[in-house]
């Protein structure tokens, strides 16, 4: 990693309907997050085939 790179760790994922969520841990190789209405929103969210519901905000 060079000096321009930053690394962040998702401590918990509440998006139980996301296919990358395994026991409240994100299993995606990398994620993309944006800000929306002063809240972080995970753009990597992908619903599981058997899941319904809305995506919660990201937490750290």
Contacts of 56 (CB under 8 A, 6+ apart): 14, 15
pLDDT tens readout for residues 1-49? 455 566 667 778 999 999 999 999 999 988 999 998 888 889 999 999 8
Which of residues 20 and 55 earns the better pLDDT score?
Answer: 20
Domain extent listing, the chain: 8-60
Q: pTM for this structure?
A: 0.64
10 Å CB burial of residue 1 (0-12, 13-18, 19+) is exposed
- The DSSP annotation for 32-45 comes to -EEEETTEEEETT-
User: Quick check: 33 and 42 in contact, CB under 8 A?
Assistant: yes
């Amino acid at each position: 990693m060079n000096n321009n790179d930053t690394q962040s760790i998702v401590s918990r994922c509440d998006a139980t309907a996301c296919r990358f969520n395994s026991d409240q841990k994100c299993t995606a190789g990398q994620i993309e997050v944006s800000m929306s209405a002063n809240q972080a929103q995970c753009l990597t969210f992908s619903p599981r085939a058997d899941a319904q519901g809305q995506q919660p905000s990201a937490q750290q």
